[in-house]
Amino acid sequence: MTKFDEIYQDIIRKIMTEGIEELNVRTGKKTKALPGVSFSIDLEQDGLPVLTLRKNPLKSPIAETLWFISGSKKPADFVQKFTKMWDPFIESDGTLAAAYGWRWRHAFGRDQLDSLVRLLTEDSSSRHGVVVTWDPREDGYGGIPKKNVPCPYTFTVNIIGGRLHLHNILRSEDMILGGPFDTFGFSLLACILAQKLGVRPVIYTHAISNAHIYENHYDGANEIISRTNNHEKIVLALPENVYDRAEKFDESLVPEILEPLMAQYHPLAPIENLTIAL
């Protein structure tokens, strides 16, 4: 198995065997959960973390990541042309209330992503490369009703030894559907930032405060635990100037990134009935 498959399978096994089962009031479903779950993966040595233990979408997280970089909060601007995954969360005005990229680039009085790139271009040793998604004025605490609030709520970027390290912190993660998706998407973001900054590929760290599996995913989780394969690592080959082209809503980026990955991607069969808990 790939390094990520091994990491992911171990986490699923641990949650299913050691997780605390409780009722989640918001969804009305039980979950098994563990606190403080984290892992790191060397994207240069171990390849891109794409789940191969079951068929997993690749186009959606690619389009989502590029849309985040654009800074838009309207799915129709870009991401909706490639996936409908955000449709249930769209507000009546056609926007996402907590669109990650919009918050990175337009909220809190500064363009955090642009500031990050300029900071690390000028001083690669800086430890101030922090991007925040969570808005304490509005998010959570039973406050303003929204169809979504950020799960990955902040990330930091450091350049250490000429290599970029992105440390992603999540308040909550549905490990069956969200875990593989977010890991792939933010690892892709890390590689795009490394390309923009002219440094080597990266160490990606994924840290989850509440890692859980919903009861309607228990059978799927047990199936994942039982599976094995001999899939080789998946190597990302980015086209040129991805960051700058994403800012300009360049739709051709999606197939340019997707097609070389799909040529390497030979997952095991899908697991049916893995529906999202809303």
Q: Give the range among 119-123, 227-231, 256-260, 272-276 with minimum mean pLDDT.
A: 272-276
**Phi and psi angles of residue 263, each rounded to the nearest 5 degrees, phi first:** -65, -25
- Architecture in CATH of 3-262: 2-Layer Sandwich (3.30)
**Phi and psi angles of residue 84, each rounded to the nearest 5 degrees, phi first:** -100, 15
Mean pLDDT of 153-160: 98
CA neighbor of 191 nearest in space, from 10, 50, 17, 23? 50
> How does residue 109 score in pLDDT terms, banded at 50, 70 and 90?
very high
Burial grade of 2 (CB within 10 A; 0-12, 13-18, 19 or more): buried
Non-local CB neighbours of 242 within 8 Å, separated by 6+ positions? 66, 192, 195, 196, 253, 257
Distance of alpha carbon 231 from alpha carbon 52, whole angstroms: 7
Query: For 209-238, how does the pLDDT look when each residue is reduced to its tens digit (9 = 90+)?
Result: 999 999 999 999 999 999 999 999 999 999
Tokens read off for 8: 């992911």
Query: Considering the entire predicted model, what is its pTM?
Result: 0.96
